[in-house]
């Protein structure tokens, strides 16, 4: 593990993430462990009102105006110049870049400034690699070329969250295997997320929790819920999460209102008490089109919930089919409804998958182990 020689010569670490809430939802344990080792830590991010929560952890935060999508060439050039100026002032020994725009802009700056070590944390490749439009195809090709340019260096390491992404970076981007580290997500607190003690509610509850993006399979969930409701009217279907207006694949307020008008699914909005909420759930569903390594599946597994998810990158790495959950084809409403129905009608299967899910979480999803692996990449 890297160590500082003295208080006056501490290792300087800069973590650049697109938005403050993503840091708080995924990297609090990581930041806390860096602070505990007395490294000089700076977070560079967009402030959506939660930067002070990061500062309360003892972390220096520099706010930067960063559009998550493309705005216009003038704004993007100005943003890149601000990123360059800020990182040059920080002069970090380790620069970690998380999410697409920080990866690209920070990667370009790292090459110009010759940063000692740059770590690219690829927390899923996002909508760029799931879009089926021609424009989306062109964007993915441009981003791939940029990745090849910024990652061609002896001073870089790349963290991916699943084997599919490792293969992509080796075959498409052309990285050597020794440059790539596979870490299965950020992990969960196994004490906070733990199985409920005692009897569950009389009515079964089926929930999807995520940002309300089309590529999370929101429409498929609503359609499958409608099918299941015709047979099991007492089963409750819940949608947990907020609209993300800065994401191009987000539902709009009008979209959500229209989906909920039939009363099949209850939209609960964002919940800060996910550990408590999951204890009231019986079946968890994430019919996503692509993930890195979904934290919410780790949380559900740690809570002892059977999970229904899709056979796509990230999701299939987080669930063992017919052991901790059920994996179905993506964008297949009928298969999704059949899997949910199977769990609704069989308490024995639900209980077996739930028990296996908790055991699997204890072995694979412990936040302390995964955070240690994350920090260790600096030294490898």
Q: What is the pTM of this model?
A: 0.88
Query: Is the residue at 212 inside a domain?
Result: yes
Do 92 and 21 belong together in one domain? yes
Alpha-carbon span 187 to 146, nearest angstrom: 29
Structure tokens at 160: 């991916």
Query: Is the residue at 350 inside a domain?
Result: yes
Do 56 and 76 belong together in one domain? yes
Do 355 and 374 belong together in one domain? no
Do 182 and 296 belong together in one domain? no
CB atoms within 10 A of CB 214: 17
Query: Is the residue at 137 inside a domain?
Result: yes
* pLDDT tens for the 380 residues of the chain, in order: 454 544 457 899 999 999 999 999 999 999 999 999 999 999 999 999 999 999 999 999 999 988 765 567 888 889 999 999 999 999 999 999 998 889 999 999 999 999 999 999 998 665 555 556 666 677 778 888 899 999 988 889 999 998 888 988 998 888 999 999 999 999 999 999 999 876 666 789 999 999 999 999 999 999 999 999 999 999 999 999 999 887 878 999 999 999 999 899 999 999 989 999 999 999 999 999 999 899 999 999 999 999 999 999 999 999 999 999 999 999 999 999 999 999 999 999 999 999 999 999 999 999 999 999 999 997 65
- The single-letter DSSP state of residue 152 is -
Query: Is the residue at 1 inside a domain?
Result: no
**Cβ–Cβ under 8 Å, residues 13 and 37:** no
Query: Is the residue at 79 inside a domain?
Result: yes
Do 145 and 268 belong together in one domain? no
Do 25 and 116 belong together in one domain? yes
Q: Which domain holds residue 76?
A: 7-187+367-379
Do 174 and 271 belong together in one domain? no
Query: Is the residue at 198 inside a domain?
Result: no
* Tokens 């559009």 found at: 67
Do 158 and 220 belong together in one domain? no
Query: Is the residue at 156 inside a domain?
Result: yes
Query: Is the residue at 136 inside a domain?
Result: yes
Do 170 and 314 belong together in one domain? no
Do 137 and 272 belong together in one domain? no
Spell 51-74 as b/e; 16+ CB within 10 A means b. Answer: beebeebebebbebebebeeeeee
Do 87 and 219 belong together in one domain? no
Do 217 and 144 belong together in one domain? no
Number of domains in the chain: 2
CATH of the domain at 346: 3.40.50.2000
């Amino acid at each position: 593990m890297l160590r500082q020689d003295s208080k006056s010569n501490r290792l300087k670490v800069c973590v650049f993430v697109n938005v403050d809430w993503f840091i708080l939802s995924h990297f609090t344990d990581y930041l806390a462990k860096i602070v505990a080792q007395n490294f000089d830590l700076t977070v560079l991010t967009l402030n959506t009102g939660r930067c002070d929560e990061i500062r309360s952890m003892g972390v220096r935060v520099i706010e930067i105006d960063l559009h998550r999508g493309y705005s216009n060439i003038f704004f993007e050039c100005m943003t890149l110049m601000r990123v360059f100026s800020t990182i040059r002032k920080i002069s970090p020994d380790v620069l970690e870049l998380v999410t697409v725009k920080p990866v690209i802009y920070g990667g370009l700056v790292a090459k110009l400034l010759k940063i000692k070590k740059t770590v690219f944390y690829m927390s899923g490749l996002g909508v760029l690699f799931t879009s089926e439009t021609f424009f989306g195809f062109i964007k993915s090709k441009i981003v791939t070329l940029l990745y090849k340019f910024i990652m061609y260096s002896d001073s870089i390491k790349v963290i991916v969250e699943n084997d599919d992404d490792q293969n992509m970076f080796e075959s498409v981007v052309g990285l050597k295997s020794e440059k790539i580290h596979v870490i299965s997500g950020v992990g969960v607190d196994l004490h906070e997320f733990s199985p409920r003690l005692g009897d569950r509610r009389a009515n079964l509850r089926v929930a999807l929790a995520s940002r309300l993006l089309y590529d999370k399979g929101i429409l498929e969930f609503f359609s499958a819920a409608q099918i299941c409701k015709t047979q099991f009217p007492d089963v409750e279907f819940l949608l947990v999460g907020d609209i993300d207006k800065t994401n191009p694949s987000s539902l709009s307020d009008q979209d959500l209102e229209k989906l909920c008008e039939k009363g099949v699914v209850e939209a609960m909005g964002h919940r800060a008490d996910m550990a408590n909420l999951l204890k009231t759930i019986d079946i968890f569903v994430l019919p996503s089109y692509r993930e890195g390594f979904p934290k919410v599946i780790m949380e559900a597994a740690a809570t002892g919930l059977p999970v229904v998810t899709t056979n796509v990158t990230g999701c299939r790495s987080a669930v063992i089919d017919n052991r901790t959950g059920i994996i179905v084809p993506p964008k297949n409403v009928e298969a999704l409804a059949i899997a949910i129905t199977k769990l609704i009608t069989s308490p024995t299967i639900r209980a077996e998958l739930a028990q296996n899910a908790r055991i699997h979480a204890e072995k694979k999803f412990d936040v302390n182990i995964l955070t240690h692996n994350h920090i260790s990449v600096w030294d490898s």
